[in-house]
């Protein structure tokens, strides 16, 4: 009781102190207040930022998993990596390609090209998520012109045969690996130019008429990257008039999942609509604990933390459930995963350093841009579920699904396991929802459950198999011996 009284007295004293503090006059540094007031008045919503950015810095939580995968190797395009000395060796080639552009038409001068870029400067600046404050107008416009000419002439020269002198002098054309390396750099998220810049240069230089190119820039670019992305099975979208943000966006749009099974459209209009008859909560029920550090958001943006279960078992576990892993023939794209009659068919994929770079930048692009489909993120997550250890990789190799050019199967498993770390996805419009449902239903059948339990407990290793057959053999011997004993007893005199 005394403790409570003392506590009440202390509380009363504190309340009195608070009242005295309230009555005391409070003074502020008015000069400081005026500075803050001016800051408030001067703070304005940047009119340019009413348009969404499309070229992003890779978020730190993604970059930390594999920093080198997001950095260009030999060429800097755009403002983000322009100061890196290791990439400046190619700058002279940019000027060489600019000269080729100027030689196309004597009636179009350097000033004409600069004016064209100047008109597009504002639109180009807002495409980048970071304000390029360290580049004045002239530097930024020149960068757009040089980098744009480099990209277009690289694609053009790849498609046409140039003279022997050009082959020797051009560091891209003189080595077998250089073009492929430049193509990979062109698909780095932080190494993009607005597609609008490329289109305007393409039209202004009249590439159509001068080089007998009858296709649009999008189709020409598609043909270029198709030569370096064999396994992805990219296909030009049927809508060739679509607006692309940049080269990575174009390639992303060319990696399409199988045809919509329902024929409808997703509620967002921007997701692949294979979820028409499946609620978001049910899909999340399949997805929640598949990935470590994975955050799943529903259609309204709420984070869901209930219904945690595994999505797809590993390749090893699928085999225990009687699922047959097969290489998908005539796949529509790398995304074309199907499950039917106990057969999980997955398109072939060669895993090498190139795969790592392309996959990571495609996933990063989906993570940064909420207006694009997330089917590549979902594919990566599904493969991460199927591949947990080197043993799973070996099973996929044996099935002809994976070609391992990394050498160690552990490295392939590590690649897929890390690819989906710290990613978020919207579970509306998941193009793999039908596959998830079919696998869940298959594994849920009693026969397949018992089969999986038997395989896991008794046939998981050679010694276990030997033990089972030894036990069966002893059991049969025991039955036989017992039978003979009983028969001998019955026929005894």
Within 13 Å and on the Cβ side, how many CA atoms surround 147?
A: 29
Q: By percentage, how much of the chain surpasses pLDDT 70?
A: 69
Give the residue with greater pLDDT, 1 vs 12. Answer: 12
In this prediction, residue 282 carries a pLDDT of: 40
Q: Tens of pLDDT along 219-274?
A: 889 989 998 887 788 888 776 667 899 999 999 999 877 654 333 333 333 333 33
pLDDT band at 442 (very low <50, low <70, confident <90, very high): confident
- Range in 106-110, 136-140, 431-435 the model is least confident about: 431-435
Residues 390-411 have a mean pLDDT of: 93
In this prediction, residue 300 carries a pLDDT of: 35
Within 13 Å and on the Cβ side, how many CA atoms surround 248?
A: 30
Q: Rounded to whole angstroms, how far apart are CA atoms 223 and 311?
A: 36
Q: Is the pLDDT of residue 408 over 60?
A: yes
Residues 392-406 have a mean pLDDT of: 94
Question: How many other C-beta atoms can be found within 10 angstroms of the C-beta atom of residue 125?
Answer: 18
Residues 381-387 have a mean pLDDT of: 91
Q: Is the pLDDT of residue 31 over 70?
A: yes
pLDDT band at 428 (very low <50, low <70, confident <90, very high): low
pLDDT band at 394 (very low <50, low <70, confident <90, very high): very high
Of 206, 314, 249, 259, give the one whose Cα is nearest residue 434. Answer: 259
DSSP string across 73-95? SS---SSTTTT-GGGGGGHHHHH
Q: Is the pLDDT of residue 276 over 50?
A: no
Question: How many other C-beta atoms can be found within 10 angstroms of the C-beta atom of residue 196?
Answer: 16
Q: Rounded to whole angstroms, how far apart are CA atoms 424 and 436?
A: 18
In this prediction, residue 347 carries a pLDDT of: 94
pLDDT band at 327 (very low <50, low <70, confident <90, very high): very high
Beta pairing class for 424-426 and 343-347: unpaired
**Mean pLDDT rounded to a whole number for the chain:** 78
pLDDT band at 135 (very low <50, low <70, confident <90, very high): very high
Q: Rounded to whole angstroms, how far apart are CA atoms 401 and 343?
A: 13
Q: Which residues contact 489 (CB under 8 A, 6 or more apart)?
A: none
In this prediction, residue 440 carries a pLDDT of: 82
Q: In terms of C-beta distances under 8 Å and separation of at least 24 residues, what long-range contacts does 59-67 make, across chains too?
A: 59/364, 59/367, 59/368, 61/422, 62/360, 62/363, 62/364, 62/367, 62/422, 62/423, 65/360, 65/418, 65/421, 65/422, 66/356, 66/360, 66/418
In this prediction, residue 187 carries a pLDDT of: 97
- Range in 4-18, 124-138, 406-420 the model is least confident about: 4-18
Question: Would you state the structure tokens that stand for residue 471, as one six-digit string?
Answer: 């036990």
- Range in 24-28, 159-163, 173-177, 213-217 the model is least confident about: 173-177
Q: Which residues contact 200 (CB under 8 A, 6 or more apart)?
A: 116, 120
E strand intervals along 92-182: none
Residues 273-277 have a mean pLDDT of: 33
Q: Is the pLDDT of residue 169 over 70?
A: no
Give the residue with greater pLDDT, 416 vs 10. Answer: 416
Q: Is the pLDDT of residue 392 over 60?
A: yes
Q: Rounded to whole angstroms, how far apart are CA atoms 386 and 366?
A: 22
> Counting runs of H as helices and runs of E as strands, what totals does the chain give?
22, 7
Of 405, 433, 473, give the one whose Cα is nearest residue 230. Answer: 405
pLDDT band at 416 (very low <50, low <70, confident <90, very high): very high
Q: Is the pLDDT of residue 315 over 70?
A: yes
In this prediction, residue 291 carries a pLDDT of: 39
DSSP string across 22-53? HHSPP---HHHHHHHHHHHHH----GGGGSPP
**What SS3 class is residue 423?**
coil
Residues 197-204 have a mean pLDDT of: 96
pLDDT band at 15 (very low <50, low <70, confident <90, very high): low
Give the residue with greater pLDDT, 175 vs 457. Answer: 175
- Range in 50-64, 82-96, 188-202, 232-246 the model is least confident about: 232-246
| Host H or E run for residue 347 | strand 343-347
**8 Å CB contact between 429 and 370:** no
């Amino acid at each position: 009781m005394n403790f409570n009284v003392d506590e009440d007295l202390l509380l009363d004293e504190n309340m009195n102190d608070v009242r005295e503090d309230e009555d005391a006059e409070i003074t502020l540094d008015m000069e400081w207040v005026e500075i803050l007031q001016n800051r408030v008045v001067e703070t304005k919503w940047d009119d340019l930022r009413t348009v969404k950015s499309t070229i992003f810095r890779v978020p730190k939580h993604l970059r930390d998993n594999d920093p080198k995968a997001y950095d260009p190797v030999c060429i800097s395009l755009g403002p983000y990596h322009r100061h890196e000395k290791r990439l400046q060796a190619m700058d002279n080639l940019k000027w060489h390609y600019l000269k080729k552009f100027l030689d196309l038409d004597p009636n179009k001068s350097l000033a004409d090209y600069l004016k064209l870029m100047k008109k597009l400067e504002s639109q180009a600046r807002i495409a980048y998520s970071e304000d390029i404050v360290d580049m004045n107008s002239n530097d930024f416009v020149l960068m757009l012109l040089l980098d744009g000419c480099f990209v277009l002439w690289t694609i053009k020269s790849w498609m046409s045969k140039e003279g022997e002198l050009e082959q020797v002098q051009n560091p891209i054309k003189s080595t077998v690996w250089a073009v492929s390396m430049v193509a990979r750099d062109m698909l780095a998220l932080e190494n993009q130019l607005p597609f609008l810049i490329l289109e305007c240069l393409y039209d202004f230089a009249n590439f159509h008429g001068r080089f007998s190119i009858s296709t649009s820039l999008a189709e020409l670019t598609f043909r270029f990257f198709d030569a370096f992305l064999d396994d992805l099975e990219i296909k030009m979208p049927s809508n060739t008039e679509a607006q692309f943000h940049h080269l990575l966006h174009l390639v992303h749009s060319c990696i399409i999942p199988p045809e919509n099974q329902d024929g409808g459209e997703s509620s967002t209009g921007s997701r692949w609509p294979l979820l028409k008859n499946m609620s978001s909560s049910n899909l999340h029920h399949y997805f929640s604990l598949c990935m470590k550090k994975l955050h799943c958001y529903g259609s309204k943006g709420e984070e869901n933390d209930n219904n945690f279960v595994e999505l797809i078992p590993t390749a090893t576990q699928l085999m225990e459930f009687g699922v047959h892993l097969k290489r998908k023939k005539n796949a529509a794209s790398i995304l074309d995963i199907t499950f039917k009659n106990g057969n999980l068919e997955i398109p072939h994929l060669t895993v090498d350093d190139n795969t790592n770079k392309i996959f990571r930048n495609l996933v990063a692009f989906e993570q940064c841009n909420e207006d694009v489909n997330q089917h590549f993120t979902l594919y990566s997550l599904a493969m991460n579920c199927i591949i947990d250890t080197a043993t799973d990789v070996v099973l996929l190799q044996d099935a002809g699904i994976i070609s391992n050019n990394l050498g160690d199967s552990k490295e392939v498993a590590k690649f897929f396991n890390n690819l989906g770390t710290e990613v978020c996805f919207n579970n509306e419009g998941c193009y793999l929802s039908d596959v998830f449902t079919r696998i869940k239903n298959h594994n849920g059948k009693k026969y397949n459950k018992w089969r999986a339990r038997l395989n896991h407990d008794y046939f998981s290793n050679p010694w276990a198999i030997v033990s089972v057959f030894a036990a069966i053999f002893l059991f049969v011997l025991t039955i036989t011996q017992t039978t003979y004993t009983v028969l001998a007893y019955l026929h005894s005199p």
